[in-house]
Chains A and B, each alone.
Chain A
């Protein structure tokens, strides 16, 4: 029952619009926490604030008990948090492999170290790791194509691979399996389940409940910038308010998924 990430009354306003309105969530260590909610309910905004891309207007974010509110994104990453983007953000002119290689910190990223070649060992290690992830995601045959050549779904996979590569303690994903074929989506979630056992925590935003729900440990539901419900998957599916604002009364497909 240890929490790794906690937000306390976190708020974010965009000119009068309360995109986040006193949001309190607890993300438990080594678990998969899911956030759902209608379009525009503030899920991506929450990720952006946690990862430092947006400044919080009120409230606090604690990571392992440490206040990380409004630190710059790279510092938040150093603490062990990595995030993916809802709209894939490939490094277009870099190869697929190179897109993964930047996920870790390499001593050779400093000018002096690069001159002294103090990076070959680390490079060896991450090249192998990256290629393994590409094989897992079925992108290995594309390892040396530039990322701009990938299809929409392949870009999503690239986004996931880069995050899994990163040696993070908490991986935050914004709709990772949207547009990914069901078999692979299940494989990815199986891998995530494995990684949980290795001590990695996941906070995921996703609309594809039919696929993801059986993997999640805890669910938060957001609407209009507020958390309106939380609980286990079963509990949430039967919550009247959640059915009303998000699931829809006749959404049989969702229930069949569980």
Chain B
């Protein structure tokens, strides 16, 4: 049984982090945009579910009052309906994901808009700051998503027997992660991916050759944020509640950066490798914390090792393996592949 939970935990976190990391890789790995506000897009996804879908359901069922209590009521009513009618559960999930992506894109574009002209370092700090402000507001303002109380979220799988819920949810997360991966991979293996890398390497050249660097950056952050917001919405439905404190910069910005650095920037396959390696270690550490603490005679819980370990890992990558597990590769479009064949034949 414990074994099964271990694997499910790895699958769920692999899926969620793959979605976030694949989006961050488009922005940072390909485009060189240091989006240190990645957690914001994830939070927006969660707000979509906890703050907006909840209110839509409140209006539908005529429930009034504060969001904290009302969300609890709405949850029990909605769960009953979904239990009798699975299509509604799936419908709510799909509609929420689409709405989360839309709102993610809009907020992403809005937040990069004033700062897109800044140089890389300032841009990073500005995005981090904006993300922190949103985090604070949603944690201390109890109207939005219940602040430090949090809000309840319906169980979109209420029609599934309790003991199967986790595994089915894991599959759903994995499926969405897979689709997000395919989407990003297709979009980046194209002249757009090449353009992003060109802008990353030399903005001046890109401008000289007619690329509107600002607009490309804004669209890219909108695209990346739309995808990252999916993870936030999925996480909200997975944990059947939303509380702002779950969307910290460590979990949803720094760890994703670490994972894409580990896997290799501007390489989608590298992201898979990086996320899988990171999540496996993280979950194992969590599950075997007591054993590890005892074995190493640690004066503190092994979970605290996490921060230290990942910090050291980050330094090791940056110093000794800056290209990550899988190196960046040129974009091989079909016409380029045909050129390769031609060159080979000529030889």
Contact = CB atoms under 8 A, between A and B. Distances in A.
Interface of A: 51-53, 72-74, 77-78, 82-83, 85, 89-95, 97-98, 101-103, 105-111, 113-115, 117, 119-120, 123-124, 127-128, 131, 143-144, 162, 166
Contacts of A90: 201-202
Main SS at interface, chain B: helix
A105 B210 contact: yes
B204 A108 contact: no
Given A94-B198, A120-B334, A73 B192 contact: no
Contact of A89 (B191, B205, B333, B336): B205
Interface centre among B191, B198, B330, B333 (most CB of A within 10 A): B191
The 8 tightest CB contacts between A and B, nearest first, are A77-B210, A108-B191, A114-B190, A114-B192, A73-B207, A91-B201, A106-B191, A124-B335
Contact of B333 (A73, A82, A123): A123
B219 interface: yes
B321 interface: no
B209 A94 contact: no
B211 A91 contact: no
27 contacts: A72-B212, A73-B207, A74-B207, A74-B210, A77-B207, A77-B210, A83-B208, A85-B208, A89-B205, A90-B201, A94-B194, A97-B336, A98-B198, A102-B194, A102-B198, A102-B205, A102-B206, A106-B191, A109-B192, A109-B194, A110-B192, A115-B186, A120-B335, A123-B335, A128-B339, A143-B343, A162-B209
Interface of B: 183, 186-188, 190-195, 197-198, 201-202, 204-213, 216, 219-220, 223, 328, 330-331, 333-336, 338-339, 343
A131 B339 contact: yes
A160 to B, nearest CB: 14
Contact of B194 (A53, A98, A124, A128): A98
A107 B334 CA distance: 15
Contacts of B198: 91, 94, 98, 102
